[in-house]
Amino acid sequence: MMHGFAPRSIFSLEDVDRKLKEAKHVFPTVQQFTPPDSSSEDGSSPEAEYFPEYPSEEVRPLDQCIAIFEKGPRPASASLALLNDEEIIQLANSGKIAPHALEKILGMDALDRAVRIRRALISRASSTHTLESSSIPYETYDYSRVLGACCENVVGYIPIPLGVAGPLKVDGVSYPIPMATAEGTLVASTSRGCKALNAGGGVTTVLTADGMTRGPAIDFPSIVQAGQAKAWIDSEDGFATLRAAFESTSRFAKLKSLKAALAGRTLYVRFTTTTGDAMGMNMISKGTEKALDALQKRFPEMVVLALSGNYCTDKKPAAINWIEGRGKSVVAEAVIPGHVVRTVLKTTVADLRNLNIKKNLIGSAMAGSIGGFNAHAANILTAIFLATGQDPAQNVESSMCMTLMEPTNGGEDLLMCVNMPCIEVGTVGGGTVLAPQQGVLDMLGVKGAHPSQPGKNAQTLARIIASAVMAGELSLLSALAAGHLIKAHMAHNRSQVNTPASSVPPTPGPHSNPVLAQLARQKGNRSPFSPLTPLTPSMSQSSLSKLRN
């Protein structure tokens, strides 16, 4: 008789399911379940009877799922790999797994599965039960770039149409203008502006400042101590001490200035720093914390109320940003030839100048606007922000813009400028780590950090944005001056599927307006406002006098 090792048992999926069902009767509760010994006399592995290599197609009872999860192979992701999606949903609903931690517990090689299971959990707990089978996409996406960086509790992603306006020549280089938007006419209109600007030689830009800000709020026991702290911060010794502490946190963070202001016993300090090619909020927050530690060593009784005391100011309209700047401050200029204004933009230099003054400058002043002296800078800036992975909430201050227009070259041509003091952008970190957004930055030649000049890529992106805003401003103002805006939107910005019948009221005429109707009767049913009759300032006065008579 020959002696040797017995062959290893091989089980089919049916055998595994059968033995797990048998195990349920032997071990009816989790407390009774104990994994078998790791070895046996014949050399086989009894664990295979209880921990199958592949998940079952059937949904096993909760107690079995708990047993496999808690007593199965380690790490936990190996045990969960033995369970199907519905069984993991059972574990989550029983409180054994936190839905927000699915990626962590399932493992980096099962990120799509984590998103799929979370969709089911949220869908079945909601009143509509639609998410699980909705058209919100979730597959074929690199969630490893999202995890721990961009979003939590992920259930998918939202595709936004990406268009390209231009190209537009900026400082002698031609760039496509990427715009992620759902607003029809926006890309087409910006392209028209690019065409007009290119005809005059393109756009010239100047970067006037570069500095991200953070403004903590600090309490002191008395205004005397708060005043002493302000005086020390304003001194050369104070600035040098805080700068050394600040810059010890990063090789890219360079503290440029400190601006301190008192409100009672509370001191606000606005840190301004360059941050390389990053937008820089995390970098400057880390440096500010370190500087405040140094400040507290000199003023131990101070209390830091908040790292951000709204003196920054981030994601809110603020005069301090408009005046002092935040992020990249850019001024752009272009000359548009008069014949291009007439043939491409279908208006005149004089009409554009007049409209810009009355709308963008006086109208915005009447509204008490802060930094809103423009037609629609936020439209273009936000579309580029979404396309390039910027923080869309920072469009609040980043889209602050003043548009200026005046005749030049003896009144023949149009000189146009835009002033944008708060463009907050980066080419590393945040949403720029996502692959599609990196692809857009790569198309512009500004992906990642600049290899030899830290900050240059982010500055170039800011220059492109300001120039694109100019193109959008020029086209929209021209459409308004020529009366083409509504026609363009009706042609390009209407969904044929979802748009109901037009509810726009008809243009008022003699039969729809009692005043016009009375005037028409006096004129023998001929409207005094014929298209052939030029509108003059005196017309309203003469109309009123006729009504009085």
Residues marked as catalytic: 183, 315, 391, 489
Peptide bond into 510 cis (omega under 30): no
- As a whole number of angstroms, the longest Cα–Cα distance in the chain is 132
Bridge partners, 509 (sequence order): none
Task: Write out 138-150 in H/E/C secondary structure.
Answer: CCCCCHHHCCCCC
* Rounded (10°) angle between helices 539-548 and 514-522: 80
The structure tokens listed for 486 are 């509504």
Residue whose C-alpha is closest to residue 400's, from 429, 416, 423, 382? 423
Rounded Cα–Cα distance for residues 253 and 409 (Å): 45
Buried b (16+ CB within 10 A) or exposed e, 394-418: bbbbbbbbbbbbebeeeeebbbbbb
Q: Determine the distance from the C-alpha atom of residue 387 to the mean position of all C-alpha atoms in its chain, rounded to a whole number.
A: 9
Residue 487 near residue 310 (C-beta atoms within 8 A): no
Residue whose C-alpha is closest to residue 69's, from 84, 82, 54, 52? 82
Quick one: CA torsion of 344, 346, 351, 352, rounded to 10 degrees?
-40
Other Cβ atoms less than 10 A from the Cβ of 225: the count is 16
The structure tokens listed for 97 are 């797994």
The structure tokens listed for 243 are 């700068």
- Which 8-state DSSP code applies to residue 36? P
Rounded Cα–Cα distance for residues 252 and 455 (Å): 9
